[in-house]
Structure formats: C-alpha cells, structure tokens
Structure 1
Amino acid sequence: MPKKIRLKRKTFAKIVLGLCIGILLSSLYRHKILLCVPLAGKCCHTVHVNYHVNIGIDHLTFNKNHAVPQVVVEGLDLNNNINKNDKKFLLIGVITEKKYLDTRAVAAFNTWTNSCSGTCKVIFFSSEGSTTEKQIPLVSLDGTDDSYPPQRKSLLMLKYMHDNYINSFEWFMRAGDDIFVRGDKLEKFLRSVNSSVPHFIGQAGIGKKEEIGKLFLNRHENYCMGGPGTLFSHTTLRNVGPHIHSCIDNLLTTHEDVEVGRCVRRITGLSCTWAFEN
C-alpha cells in the first residue's frame, strides 16, 4: 500500500477517534470537571469550563418571508462574525437545543471552536425563538423545534449554510453539541482532499441489525452517522442546498442522519465514505 494512502488512513482514524472521545469530554465539561489535557511540549493543561460568565445576549430577527433567519449579536449582524468576502476553509454548523445553549454550546465555544487557527468558523443552530445570555454565534431556525430526531433542524441548517456561505468556505460540517473536534487535525486531513470534487465524508453506517431493509438503503448504500460529525465539500453542498425542502417533504425514516444521507444520495448519487476510501 502506498505510503501516502497509509498516512491518510491514519489521519482519518485519529479524527474519528478524537470525535468519539469528544462525547466523553463534553459530558465532563457539562459537569464542570477539571480536565488534564495533554498538549504538545507540555505535560498537561488544566481546563475549567465556567458556564456563568455574562458576556452578552443574542437577539433574533427575521426577514418578512421567514426564508432566511437573521441573527444579531449585541447589535451586530452575524455577518460581522463571518465576513462572506473573506474566504475561509471550514464552516461547522453545530446542532443544539434551547436547554443546552448555556451549557453544551458554551463549553464547545470556549474550547474546541478555536482549534483550527482562524481558518474555521462555527455557528450554533437551535430551534425557533432560541436566545441566550452568552455571546455565541447563534441562528434560531424558523419553523423548527427541539423534538427528536432533529431531521428538519439538520436539513434547514444545511440550507442556511448553503444560502449564506456557499461561496465563502471550501468545506462544511454538520456536528452535534456533544462532540469535541480537533480542528487542527481535521484541517490537515481536509487539505489533502480536493473540495472541488463532490465528497460526503464521515463514519459510514447501515443501521442496526434489526433495521436492515427498513432504512430504504439499497445494496452497498450507506449514510454518514451523525454522532461523529459529517463533512460536505462545497461542491456537494452546492448541489444539495437548493433541494433541501424537497428532502424535508420526502422523509421516510425517523433517523436524522439517515435522512441527510438519503437526501445527499438522491441528489448527487453519493454515499458516505467507506473506511478503505480514506
């Protein structure tokens, strides 16, 4: 096997492992536990997440037809946080809920969201009417609630990123509020992949044993599991974005990640990456 391919497989494996470990780390953050996190060149670094720092309030306004939610943070439009004319590398959309805005969302914003050297941006997406006293980049999606599974919320998040930032980023990521992303490692991996080619990258799933044949997957088809996060090249999201409402109107299962996968596959023909492809 060529050395380059082996290195890419190892890099992707590290990313997946980091995302899984993040679930545990996020749980510890929510309980304000002091974590000893090894850093390069140092034995460890102690991180204490404080949820009670009053650093501002987000205010939500909508345009008249409710098509594109507009968010104002301390009197500033969200576009002041992300300059559309300043080309960035990766935009991460984090799905959250009203009850987690002051805990999980804040923990993520104060920790891993700054881990890719300014080339990444993060926006948190919650249900209609969501506000918080914490100054985090928040979009309250009109016509959504916090019911589970968050199929509509996830698909409308992708549409929002497409409609507002498709020309501003090379890569887009769907993430949950309970994972920890190693942005530096993720960026290194993604820079080895051509974003001008349609890509749908993540941990492939085909459903539990009892779900086989009930997820409307054909032979050799899969979907990207939502837990570890899902990556879209700008080419993929450019193709999928205009058809999001069609996907919402044609849900066949009760799984959010399955429906995102079905949406991508129906429009682009892409399935999630298998391990050997990375």
Structure 2
Amino acid sequence: MLLPLKNFKIILGLCVGICILFMYISQSMQEGKILTIKTPRWLSAYRDPEFNNSMEGKNKTFTSIVEVNDALRLETKVRVLCWIMTSPKTLYKKCKAVKETWGKRCNKVLFFSSQTDANFPAIGLNVSEGRQHLTEKTMMAFTYIYHNHLNDADWFMKADDDTYVIVENLRYFLSSKNSSLPVYYGHWFKPFLKQGYYSGGAGYVLSKEALRRFGKFSNKSCVKAGHYEDVDLGRCMDKLGVLTGSSHDDQGRSRFHCFDPKTMLFRGFPSWYLEYDKYGAKKNNMSDYAISFHYIAPANMYLLDYYVYHLRPYGLYKRIHEAAHGKL
C-alpha cells in the first residue's frame, strides 16, 4: 500500500532533519575531542564564557569589569594590616621588592626584623636570626601589633619576604567574612592539629577578634618559642578558640598558595605536600581570584606586579579605565 504524498513528504523531511542533526552532533563531538587533547588539564578550569569571543562572553566580561570599582570601595571597608617577616640580610633585597609592589596596597604594612632600621623602616625584635627562631619572631610581632595597631585594621596578615599577595583579592575574600569572629585563614594543612593549621609561606590572616584573643591570652596559652612557626601559631590559635576555615572559591579552587605560580599550574608537588594539603591537592586548580604565592624572588615580584596590574589585552583596557573612573 502506497503512502499518500503528504505523509511521504513529512517522513522524508524527518529523515533529512535527523541526518543533519546527527552530522552536527558528530562534528561538535569531534571538535570537543580536539580541544581536550590540545588543552592542558589545568587550563580547563578557565574555559568559561568570560574567556571566549561570543557576544554572550563579551557581555559577561563587560559586567565583571564594571565591578572593578569594588576594589576602591573595599579598600576602606575591609582594612588589612600586612606584616612581613624579614632579616637584616634580606631587608633591602626581598623587602624592597615587597614594599614597591604589593605591600603598598595594604592599608598598613610593617616589616619585622631582628634589628631596627629607621631608614627602611623595619621594626627590630629582641630575637636572634635563624629558622629555629621563627616562632619567637611571629609571637613577638603579633604582640607588638596588638599593643600598637589593634584598631588600625580589621584583618592582620602575616607574610614572608618572598610571599606575593594580591591584596584586592584578599579584601574580596574577606568582604564576606566577619572580623568580630575568632577565625583565621590561609593555605590549609591537615597534620598535627585536629583543626589543622595554615602554611607560613603562603601567609595567613587573623581576624581582629583572633588578634584580640592572642594579645590577651597568648602568654598563658601559647609557646613563646618553638621549631615550626606555622604549626606553633596554629596550636596557639586552637587553644584560644580561633577556628580554621576554607578559603577555596565557590568552584573549590585554591586562593592561598605555598608554592610559586609555575608549581601550582603544572602541579609539580613534592610528596609531603600531597600528604599535608587539606584536600590532598585534589582541588588545587587555582582560583581566578588567587590571593598569595610563595617562593617569589625579588625580580619576579616586579614581574607578577606587571602581569597583574599593568598588562592589558587590547580592547579591554579602555573599559577598565572608564569603569575605574566612573565613566561607564
């Protein structure tokens, strides 16, 4: 029995449509395979609309750039005091780079050494130099800040003189936190303490309440000297009821880093790190709003500063400039 001409045309049209759809899906899958092969695994985290050339992507980029004004707003709303642990030998090498790059973006920056240097300036602590004295240095520095600068900031960040911090991202992260609560944040390590502790090299930031408790009760609860600064400070915070917490972004990507960007990008981690990291390094794709990196040589401080604050992709700089000056 022959089908009516009308039904035959409908069936033929459906067949043609299915064939075209099949060809389209096959081509899309093939393109996806090629992209997966060519793209490094760590880069896959950055394949989102903000980085493509579609109109939708451009609109989303435009919207995010408008928010650049938030950095200026947060500078007064989220006050951060940064203090840098250094030594007389590295003050005019490493700390000079810190002072001329990221340090100037803190609301207040202090440099602590074993000797006073009024010209730099650096605050001298009554402590000997050497890794075995880092705990003593840290405890004395926080004590000094408690007595002299408690009301100058809402958050108090400790960093080494080879740590690079993107202060705007630090403020952005802290803007959703309460400095009146006993908390501190950093690159989370899990051994030795039930609640863990934070890497000294990546830097850690104490809330105002955490510093207040330290200033009032550390003499009774915390060691004045020890062998491992970050573990000793973590144990001190634990005894004072100061809590640790995650600093990962909403996609589970890390913000504080105890290694340099190259190590984090290519995941060349030593075995101890895989054991120490709170998440077993499984979630260490870096956040778009990364806060800190460690083991940064002075020359690379300036290099990072150029990449973060000066390098601009053509076609976006005008938008950023206009947004920053309220012309959008």
Shorter chain as denominator, the TM-score bin is: 0.5 to 0.7
Partner of 2:214: 240
CA distance in 1, matches of 2:211, 2:81: 12
Kindly report structure 1 stretches of 4+ aligned residues shifted beyond 2 Å: 129-132, 242-251, 274-278
Shift of 1:171: 0.7
Do structure 1's residue 108 and structure 2's residue 94 form an aligned pair? no
CA shift for structure 1 position 125? 0.3
Q: Distance in 1 between matches of 2:97 and 2:234?
A: 28
Q: Deviations over 1:106-156 (max 9, x none)?
A: 11101111235xxx11000001x3437xx43311012x1112140100111
2:275 alignment partner in structure 1: none
| Contact 1:88/1:168, CA 8 A, preserved across alignment | no
Aligned equivalents of 1:93 and 1:163: distance in 2? 14
Instruction: Tell me if structure 2 keeps the 8 A contact 1:203–1:273.
Output: no
Residues 157 and 87 of structure 1: CA distance in aligned 2, closer, same or farther (over 3 Å)? farther
Q: Is 1:273 paired with 2:273?
A: no
- Cα distance in structure 2, aligned partners of 1:242 and 1:130: 26
Identity of aligned residues (%): 30
User: Paired residue for 1:227?
Assistant: 201
Relative distance call for 1:202 and 1:131 in structure 2 (3 A) is same
Which structure features the higher share of helix residues? Answer: 2
Q: Following the alignment from structure 2 to structure 1, what is the Cα–Cα distance between the partners of residues 248 and 92? A: 39
* Contact kept? 1:126, 1:141, Cα under 8 Å: yes
Q: CA deviation at 1:88?
A: 7.8
Mark the CA change 1:115 to 1:183 in structure 2 (over 3 Å): closer, same or farther.
same
What displacement does 1:198 show?
A: 1.7
Structure 1 counterpart of 2:155, from 164, 167, 171: 171
1:124 aligns with 2:111: yes
- Amino acid corresponding to residue 228 of structure 1 in structure 2: A
Q: Residue 223 of structure 2 contacts residue 232 of structure 2 at CA under 8 Å; is this kept in 1? A: no
Task: Indicate conservation of the 8 Å contact 1:87/1:168, yes or no.
Answer: no
Helix, strand or coil for the counterpart of 2:146?
Answer: helix
Over 3 Å counting, the alpha-carbon distance change for 1:267 and 1:136 in structure 2 is: same
CA shift in 2, pair 1:169/1:176, >3 Å:
same
Distance in 2 between the 1:136 and 1:196 partners?
A: 33
Once the two structures are superposed, the pairs formed by residues 13-162 of structure 1 within 5 Å of their partners are 89-116=79-106, 120-127=107-114, 129-131=115-117, 135-142=119-126, 144-149=127-132, 150-162=134-146
In the superposition, relative to structure 1, how do residues 269 and 107 fare at CA in structure 2: closer, same or farther (>3 Å)?
closer
> In the aligned structure 1, how far is the partner of 2:109 from the partner of 2:224?
29
Q: Deviations over 1:161-203 (max 9, x none)?
A: 1111112211101111001111122122212212112221111
Contact 1:152 1:248 in 2 (8 A): no
Give the TM-score, by structure 2 length.
0.49
Q: What's the offset of the Cα at 1:276?
A: 6.1
Is the partner of 2:230 in helix, strand or coil? helix
Gaps in structure 2 of 5+ consecutive residues: 1-64, 66-75, 251-328
Contact 2:221 2:240 in 1 (8 A): no
Q: TM-score, normalised by structure 1?
A: 0.57
Aligned Cα root-mean-square deviation (Å): 2.8
- Specify the structure having the higher radius of gyration (Cα): 2
Decide which of 247, 257, 260 is 2:233's aligned counterpart: 260
1:80-125 Cα distance to aligned partner (Å, 9 max, x none): xxxxxx9981111100011101100111101111235xxx110000
What is the alpha-carbon distance in structure 2 between the residues aligned to residue 205 and residue 229 of structure 1?
12
Cα displacement string for residues 207-243 of structure 1 (whole angstroms, at most 9, x for unaligned residues): 4xxxxxxx3x24xx20111111101110111011123
